[in-house]
Amino acid sequence: MTSSDPHHVSHIAIIMDGNGRWAKERGLPRAEGHRAGAESIREVTEACIELGVKYLTLYAFSSENWNRPQSEVDALMKLLDRFLDDKASELDKQKIRLQAIGDLDKLPAATRKRLDRIQEQTKNHQTMTLVLALSYGAREEITAAVRSIAKAAIAGEISPEEIDTKLIAQHLYTKDIPDPDLLIRTSGEMRVSNFLLWQISYSEIVIVKKMWPDFRQGDLFAAVEEYNKRHRRFGAL
């Protein structure tokens, strides 16, 4: 498959589920599952580069995750800080652009600062864009878009008749990112969980039984193979 193929996977989005259960199965604290999950991120990023995938969007922290016990929220933020510190030079070296989407103002100031710095540092990189969904919820994203469009309408900058799907898409966090071709969820759960509700309208969904910390490059290749199979079937019609 080459990128001139119209069915080439150029954007993969992943709901990284099952860190807690992975840890529990091993009698480890949940934070250990998240730590192991961070390693899967490295694997999958490498695999995406190999496949020529241009966007990888990871659901790293949802709006609902703020309701977890404070100790787990703290552990996830600490892990995120460490991830950003560890990855900054690697991302830069591999020419990967980092982009964060979500209600980023809710993040701790120090985390926000790291994100801003790495996003600025990598903004012109073109190997691939790694999109981290942080403090992200699709309903919240759509709500913010509606609010901003209403403000523009009241200010007389747009008329209600001008509101179409394109305009709405331009008000989402993902305004500069194409829609995902493939959505993967691990741990066998069959839910979308408030992730990219608008953007996945036409995405293929692949559910993988493995817990996220066990997800390896081969699992990503298998999911892409499944995506390709579905499209080959369409091609045969």
> What is the β-pairing status of strands 55-62 and 11-15?
parallel
What is the C-alpha to C-alpha distance for residues 82 and 236, in angstroms, rounded to an integer?
47
Which range of residues in 15-23, 102-110, 159-167, 190-198 is near ligand FPP by CB under 6 A? 15-23
48-77 binders of ligand FPP (CB under 6 A):
60, 65, 76
160-219 binders of ligand FPP (CB under 6 A):
212
What is the C-alpha to C-alpha distance for residues 168 and 175, in angstroms, rounded to an integer?
9
Which range of residues in 32-40, 108-116, 148-156, 226-234 is near ligand FPP by CB under 6 A? 32-40
Among 10, 14, 18, 51, indicate the residue that binds ligand FPP (CB under 6 A).
Answer: 18
Q: Which residues, in sequence order, are CB contacts of 43 under 8 Å at separation 6+?
A: 215, 216, 217, 220
Among 40, 48, 59, smallest CA distance to 11 is for: 48
Output the smallest distance, CB 204 to ligand FPP, in A: 22
Output the smallest distance, CB 104 to ligand FPP, in A: 13
Q: 95 phi and psi, to 5 degrees?
A: 60, 45
Output the smallest distance, CB 72 to ligand FPP, in A: 8
Among 8, 11, 34, 97, indicate the residue that binds ligand FPP (CB under 6 A).
Answer: 34
Which range of residues in 10-18, 136-144, 145-153, 162-170 is near ligand FPP by CB under 6 A? 10-18
Torsion sign (Cα): 218, 224, 230, 235? negative
Torsion over CA of 219, 222, 228 and 231, rounded to 10 degrees?
Answer: -90
SS percent in the chain: helix, strand, coil, step 5: 50, 15, 30
Residue 181 is a catalytic residue:
no
Residue 214 is a catalytic residue:
no
Residue 204 forms beta bridges with which residues? 182
Among 80, 128, 206, 208, indicate the residue that binds ligand FPP (CB under 6 A).
Answer: 80
Give catalytic residue positions: 17, 65
Where do contacts with ligand FPP occur on this chain (CB under 6 A)?
16-21, 34, 37-38, 60, 65, 76, 79-80, 83, 132, 212
